[in-house]
Amino acid sequence: MINNKIVTIERHILDSQPDSARGDFTNLLYDIALSAKIIAVKTNRAGLTDVLGRAGSSNIQGEQQQKLDVYADDVIFRMNDHTGRLCAMASEEHEHFLEIPEQFQKGSYVLVFDPLDGSSNIDVNVSIGTIFGIYRTVDYQKRGRLEDFMQPGHKLLAAGYVLYGSSTMLVYTTGQGVHGFTLDLEIGEFLLSHENMRFPETPQYYSTNHAYFDRWSKGTKEYVRWLQNNERFQLSERYIGSLVADFHRNLLRGGVFMYPSERNRPNGKLRLLYEAAPLSYIAEQAGGYGSTGKGSILDVTPDDLHQRVPTYIGNRALVSKAEELLARHDQ
Ligand code: AHG
Ligand code: MN
Ligand code: MN
C-alpha cells in the first residue's frame, strides 16, 4: 500500500496558518496558486496558440515584452484587484505600482511579482517562472502608497515561485519552511510533492553567465576561480538563464547562483523587489542565504520599485565565501 499522504496546496496553506491568519492571507495564497494554473495552461499551449513572440511593446526597463509576459501580468492583476485583500501591487512590468481600483475594497497586504521570469527562454521552449512576495501594508487605513513597497525583505510575510518546466511546480514559504507542490494536470490541483525543502549539505553546482567574466570585479573573478577549483565540493556548472529554474535546480541539488555587479552595471541585473528578495527569503527558509556580496539581501531597504541588486544566492557556505573574497579583493 502506498501511504504517502495526498495534500493539496489549499489544504496545506490552510493547515499551516495560525487561526489568526486564516481568511485574507490564506485566500491570497490560493489566488496566486490559481493564477499559476491559468498561466501554466497558456504556457503549455504556447506552441499551439498565438502567444509566442514579442508583444511589440517595451516595459519600464526598456526590454522587449513578450506576449506571455503581458498575459501573466494581466492574469495576476485581474485575479487580485477586486478581492479586497490587497492594498496595492507592483509588477516588474509596470513603471508605477498598481493601485486597487476605487470601486473595490482595499485590504492590508501588498503583492510584488515578476509575472514571467526568464522571458528570453519562452520562444525556445526552455523553463520559465513566476516569482511573488507578500508584505503587510505600512498603514492599513490608507490606500496603497509607494512606502508600502519600500520594505526590506526581512519583512516579507510570504514568498514563492512557480516553475513552468517539464512539470509545473509551486514552491512557497510563509516562514515555516519551504514546501513544493506539483501540478497534477488531470485533476487540476497542486499536490504536495516536496515537503520541507532544504539545500543539500553537499552542493553540486554553481550558476552564472560566464560571458560577462571580463566585466566582473577582481573579487568576483577570484570567487569564480575558487568555485572552479574547489577540492571539497567538485562543483559543476549549470546556467539556464531563467532565474527561477536556476534557483530551483540549485535548491534541489545544492549550489550557488550569482548575478554580480559588472563594470557598467554596478547593481547587476536582478530586481530586488521581484526577484532577489523573495528568493532570498525562500533560500534562508531552506537553510541557505542570499547576499549582495556585502551582506544579506533581506536587509536591503529599496528606494526604488525597480531597484537592482548584485545577487549571490544558494548554499550558505558558498555564499559566505563570496562575501569573504569580495571583502578581501574589492575595496
Ligand atoms: P526577466 O525575464 O523577468 O526579465 O528575468 C530575466 C533574468 C533572470 O531570469 C535570469 O537569471 C537573467 O535574466 C539572465 O540574464 P542573462 O541573459 O544576462 O544571463
Ligand atoms: Mn525575472
Ligand atoms: Mn519578468
Could you read off the pLDDT of 164-202 as tens digits, one per residue?
999 999 999 999 999 999 999 999 999 999 999 999 999
Nearest CA to ligand 1 atom 11: 243
Q: Is the CB of 93 under 6 A from ligand 1?
A: no
| Interval 17-22 mean pLDDT | 70
Say how far apart CA 180 and CA 196 lie, in whole Å: 8
Kindly tell me if the per-residue pLDDT of 1 is higher than 60: no
Q: What is the pTM of this model?
A: 0.95
| Interval 87-104 mean pLDDT | 97
CATH class of 205-329: alpha beta
Delimit the domains of the chain by residue range. Answer: 9-194, 205-329
Measured in Å, residue 120 CA sits from the centre of ligand 2 at 10
pLDDT band at 331 (very low <50, low <70, confident <90, very high): confident
What are the tens digits of pLDDT across the range 282-322? 999 999 999 999 999 999 999 999 999 999 999 999 999 99
Q: Is the CB of 262 under 6 A from ligand 1?
A: no
Domain 9-194 falls in which CATH fold? Answer: Fructose-1,6-Bisphosphatase; Chain A, domain 1 (3.30.540)
Note the ligand closest to the C-alpha atom of 73: 3
Kindly tell me if the per-residue pLDDT of 125 is higher than 60: yes
Q: What is the pLDDT of residue 197?
A: 98
What are the beta bridge partners of residue 90? 112
Kindly tell me if the per-residue pLDDT of 37 is higher than 60: yes
- Residue with cell string 497534477: 184
Q: Is the CB of 152 under 6 A from ligand 1?
A: no
Note the ligand closest to the C-alpha atom of 161: 2
Q: DSSP characters for 88-133?
A: EEEETT-SSPEEPPTTS---SEEEEEEEEE-GGGGGGT--EEEEEE
More confident residue, 54 or 230: 230
Which of 120, 163, 249, 312 to probe ligand 1 with, by most ligand atoms within 8 A of CB?
A: 120
Measured in Å, residue 94 CA sits from the centre of ligand 1 at 17
